[in-house]
């Protein structure tokens, strides 16, 4: 046993062994994405059932990817295609709801800070401290993804600085909200009219929220009221969309984009290209 173990360690220590090891790790890391993006169909088979999409379809996939009707797929392939679309919808929904919750919390803190003015100083400090903490966390998070947030003019009063920070946060969050809403489905083609209307309603509400916040210089009571209305509209609309998708199999739904299943040779060629040293 010791001899075998030593032999394995010796082999894995060689350049070929390291290539095999890194190739195995690469295969494992790619497996989940591969299953999501590929269907067990050849390119010819996938192209035979593929359909053109409308201009609003969202895709960043290569040109060899296709959109297909669920009803044109076999039961096994249909199940995988539907699961891929539901996973995408859930992720986008979760991102949307997270942004809604953060915007709502920020607006609540702004209201709390304003309501505490003229009352005991410790109440003012408590409300403003939470808002300041939210700003610090938001700024650090943005810097972590390569985005920088400017600081307000130091000559401003503390309450003005807090308002500026709150507006900056909800603007950024509204950008994330609009993006997440747009990604719930890559294509709405083939979904029932009521579901398409709910998707449109959610996207329009997110866009209107982003626009109103982008044009504002401060969070007025009217803007706050309208923002809460838009947030409620987004959430209610997506609730309806997800309720339908989770309890129905819309056979006419155009789902994707999917790439054809690669042959063993093609997979091997890709793996070797990625683990081979640069020449």
Domain map (residue ranges) of the chain:
89-147+165-252
Highest mean pLDDT among 33-42, 57-66, 117-126, 152-161: 152-161
CA–CA distance, 63 with 35 (Å, rounded to integer) = 18
**pTM more than 0.75:** no
- How much is the mean pLDDT over the chain? 75
99 pLDDT more than 90:
yes
Residue pair 255/71 in contact by the 8 Å Cβ criterion: no
Q: How many Cβ atoms sit within 10 Å of the Cβ of residue 163?
A: 20
253 pLDDT more than 70:
yes
152 pLDDT more than 60:
no
Highest mean pLDDT among 32-41, 160-169, 208-217, 262-271: 208-217
Residue whose tokens read 């304003």: 114
Identify any residues that bridge with 50 across adjacent strands, giving them in sequence order: 68
Please choose, from the candidates 123, 125, 205, the residue with its C-alpha nearest in 3D space to the C-alpha of residue 158: 125
Q: How many Cβ atoms sit within 10 Å of the Cβ of residue 175?
A: 16
pLDDT-wise least confident of 101-105, 164-168, 234-238: 164-168
238 pLDDT more than 90:
yes
165 pLDDT more than 50:
yes
pLDDT at 75: 86
More confident residue, 234 or 268: 234
More confident residue, 68 or 203: 203
Average pLDDT rounded to a whole number, residues 93-103 = 95
Task: Give the domain 89-147+165-252 fold.
Answer: 1.20.120
Percentage above 70 pLDDT, the chain: 61
**92 band by pLDDT with thresholds 50, 70 and 90:** very high
Sheet with 254-260: list strands edge to edge: 38-39, 254-260, 66-69
170 pLDDT more than 90:
yes
**252 band by pLDDT with thresholds 50, 70 and 90:** very high
Residue whose tokens read 């810097």: 143
């Amino acid at each position: 046993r010791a001899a075998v173990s030593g032999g394995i360690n010796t082999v894995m220590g060689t350049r070929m062994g390291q290539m095999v090891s890194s190739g195995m790790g690469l295969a494992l890391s790619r497996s989940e994405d591969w299953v999501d993006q590929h269907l067990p169909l050849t390119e010819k088979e996938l192209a035979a059932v593929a359909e053109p999409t409308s201009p609003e379809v969202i895709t960043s996939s290569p040109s060899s990817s296709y959109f297909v009707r669920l009803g044109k797929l076999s039961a096994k392939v249909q199940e995988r295609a539907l699961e891929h679309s539901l996973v995408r919808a859930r992720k986008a929904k979760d991102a949307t709801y997270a942004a809604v919750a953060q915007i709502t919390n920020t607006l609540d803190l702004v209201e709390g800070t304003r309501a505490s003015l003229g009352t005991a100083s410790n109440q003012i400090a408590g409300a403003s401290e939470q808002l300041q903490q939210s700003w610090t966390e938001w700024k650090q998070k943005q810097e972590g993804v390569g985005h920088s947030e400017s600081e307000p003019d130091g000559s401003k009063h503390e309450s003005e600085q807090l308002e500026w920070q709150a507006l900056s946060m909800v603007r950024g969050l509204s950008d994330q909200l609009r993006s997440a809403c747009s990604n719930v489905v890559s294509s709405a083609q083939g979904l029932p009219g009521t579901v398409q209307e709910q998707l449109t309603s959610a996207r329009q509400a997110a866009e209107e929220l982003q626009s109103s916040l982008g044009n504002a210089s401060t969070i007025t009571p009217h803007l706050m009221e309208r923002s809460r209305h838009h947030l409620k509209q987004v959430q209610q609309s997506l609730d309806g969309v997800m309720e339908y998708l989770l309890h129905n199999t819309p056979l006419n739904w155009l789902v994707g984009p999917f790439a054809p299943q690669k042959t063993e040779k093609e997979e091997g060629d890709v793996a070797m290209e990625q683990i081979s040293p640069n020449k």
